[in-house]
Structure 1
Amino acid sequence: MRFTFKCYATKHPEQTVIFTLLLSIFLLAYQLRIYEVPYFRMIGLKDFEQFESAVWLVVITMGTVGFGDIVPVTIFGRMITMVASLWGAFIFTLVLISFGSRFNLSTKQKQAMHQLVSQHKAARLIISAYRLYKLKRSKEGMGSNKSVLSESDKGISSLMRRLKEMAKDFKDERPKRRRVKNSKSQLI
């Protein structure tokens, strides 16, 4: 039974977590209602007369919200709500993990993403190199005008600095692509 459940949970994590969440809500609400209804009937309140009220309390407790509009009074009711809050934290963590795993990229998608990032960085590097080339050529054609030369020198040094940063950034991207490619070969 446990192996079968593990296999199903691995193959269908979302359905397993949703089923477990709903089953937990209804079982805890039923148990809570069993222990709380006699007390509330005795004092004349009808808070737990409807099953939906118990479900509401369990959902709010499992989500660790706790509005306080319905409160268990008996010892067993309070114990059930404590279990519900702990179990809710665990279940909602599983919900986040199972649905979050759907957004992970496959190895092929990671390779494609790194290819696009590399192309984008290479294009930016080429554009910066071309701008630097154009600025240097325009400096040569300006002659000896000091104010224009000092401005173009600032532009050249700024472009050189940016070009070096982009070259380093582009160079750093290659090992990332290689790691993704190697991780794929290790899986095979």
Structure 2
Amino acid sequence: MEIVLLPEKLKYSLRKKILKKIKINSLIALVLATIGIIFAILASEEYYKEDLEQKKERNEENAQATILRFVVSVSTTFLIFFIFNHYRLLLQFLKCKEFIDGNKNIFTSGYWKWLAFESTICLIHSPPFVNYSWTAAQQQEDLTYSLDMIFTLVCLLRIYHLIRVFLLYSNYYNKENTDRVLNDCRILGGTEFVLKCELKERPFTILTICILIVSFFFGYALRAAELPYIHVSNQDWTYIWNGMWCILITMTTVGYGDFYPMTYLGRSIGVTACYLGTFLISLAIVSLTISLEFEPTQARAYKNAIRYHQKSLNRKYAATLIQACYKYRFYMSKNHDVSLRTKAEKTYFIKKAIKNFKDQRLRIREMEFTLRTDEMYQQINDKINSDFDKLVIDSKVITVG
């Protein structure tokens, strides 16, 4: 039966079931991706480690590394299956929301490109018994890199599954209270819409997650690039938090100089982290700006507070003017023979009070005009939004009819 012919309640129930399957599928994929990342790092550390007692040289695979790589390969196989299942469920979900034609498949819909890209990223890892190293010229001496290190860095890209699960379980991702609104406005929603909503709702949470992910990813990558050069640079890159520290001070353009990359690959990673840090700093500024914005009730209270403060100043300047005039009149009634200089000194205070009162009245008129203009624009904007929402609902009723 065609999905278009189903009743609205049945379509909503079907969307809800498919979305639940997508969430469970993505959660399992996240677990598999996390297992792959952890075991890939452990296998890389075991592969690079030099053990003189067991006569193991650096960049040589032993039994422990083989077992760890085998676990990564198995988890990768299951991960590819769940990635394919994710796009299969996503296609069903889009058909149920009537955003794509019901006859389209993964190829005709164009989603095969994202499936191929995501599968390629998650498929790259260090399988057992695949070992290759090469030598690259550096500033002072040659440096040996391994294919295992490159594949391990690519495995870290699987961390995007964490972002996907975070957005899927957001309150804005096709929940019951937002699904009807999205359908009325003919908006797909999806990760892009949810990300924008989360940036407006919880900007500092998103910023903290981004900083942690970027620090871990680039910190480990920088450590892996600089570790073979440690005997020349005389910097302790043994611990990953030293790499994360270097990335943090690089992204913030501080640069204390206690840790810095010397290899070409490490410098490339540092430059990339610096550019990404500029983006995160701008995101922090935007987040701070959003957090300082007034809510409608707060904006109304702020405008009323300004009015009250300005009117209080107006009453104060008016009282000062009256007081100055009264003092001048009282003084002149008691002193008839007053020199021009003394009279000018007394009238100076009256002129000053008049000027202050006029300036304050002018500020009040400008403030009232600005506030009335803002309120008028806000009312017009609300009216336009209301009319547009009504037009969307009416057009949907006409289309269904």
TM-score interval, smaller chain: 0.7 to 0.9
Deviations 1:4-60 (A, max 9, x none): 2122212222212222222222221121112111221x5484511111111111111
Deviation string, structure 1 residues 62-96 (Cα, Å, up to 9, x no partner): 11110111110111211111122222222122212
| Mean CA deviation greater in 28-37 or 170-179 | 170-179
Quick check: 1:154 aligned with 2:354?
Answer: no
* Structure 1, 168-177 or 46-55: larger mean CA deviation: 168-177
Which residue of the other structure, out of 322, 331, 337, is the alignment partner of 1:139? Answer: 331
Secondary structure of 2:229's match?
A: helix
Return the letter of the residue paired with 1:54: G
Partner of 1:69: 258
What secondary structure sits across from 2:334 in the alignment? coil
TM-superposed deviation, 1:173: 2.3
Selected match of 1:94 from 268, 278, 283: 283
Q: Is residue 132–residue 160 contact of structure 1 (8 Å, CA) maintained in 2? A: no
Residue-by-residue CA offset, 1:98-132 (whole Å, 9 max, x unaligned): 12332334431331232133223212222222222
Give the SS at the match of 1:141.
helix
1:38 is matched with which residue?
228
Farther off after superposition, 74-83 or 91-100: 91-100
8 Å CA contact 1:121, 1:170 repeated in 2 = no
Determine which structure has more spread, i.e. the larger CA radius of gyration: 2
Alignment of 1:94-133 (within 5 A): 94-105=283-294, 106-133=298-325
- The residue identity in structure 1 corresponding to 2:287 is S
Aligned residue for 1:31, secondary structure, equals: helix
Alignment partners' CA distance in 1, 2:263 and 2:329: 86
Q: 1:60 matched to which residue of 2? A: 249
CA contact (8 A) 1:63 1:85 kept: yes
CA distance in 1, matches of 2:273, 2:346: 64
Matching residue within 205, 220, 226 for 1:15: 205
Does residue 179 (structure 1) correspond to residue 377 (structure 2)? The answer is no
Which of 167, 172, 185 lines up with 2:358 in the alignment? Answer: 167
- Structure 1: give runs of 5+ residues left out of the alignment: none
CA, structure 1 residues 97+162, in 2 after alignment: closer, same or farther (shift >3 Å)? farther
Secondary structure of 1:146's counterpart equals: coil
CA spacing shift, 1:163–1:26, aligned 2, 3 Å: farther
Say if 1:110 and 1:180, in contact at 8 Å, map to a contact too.
Answer: no
Does the aligned pair in 2 maintain the 1:135–1:156 contact within 8 Å? Answer: no
C-alpha distance in structure 2 between counterparts of 1:49 and 1:177, whole Å: 65
Structure 1 or 2: more helix by fraction: 1
Structure 1 range deviating more: 150-159 or 26-35:
150-159
Structure 2 unaligned residues grouped into runs of 5+: 1-190, 383-401
Query: Which residue of structure 2 aligns with residue 48 of structure 1?
Result: 237
Moved more, 125-134 or 155-164: 155-164
Q: 2: distance between equivalents of 1:44 and 1:180?
A: 63
Letter in 1 for 2:251: M
Give the Cα–Cα distance (whole angstroms) in 1 for the partners of residues 352 and 363 of structure 2. Answer: 17
Q: CA contact under 8 A between 1:30 and 1:54: conserved in structure 2?
A: yes
* Amino acid paired to 1:17: L
How many residues are paired up?
186
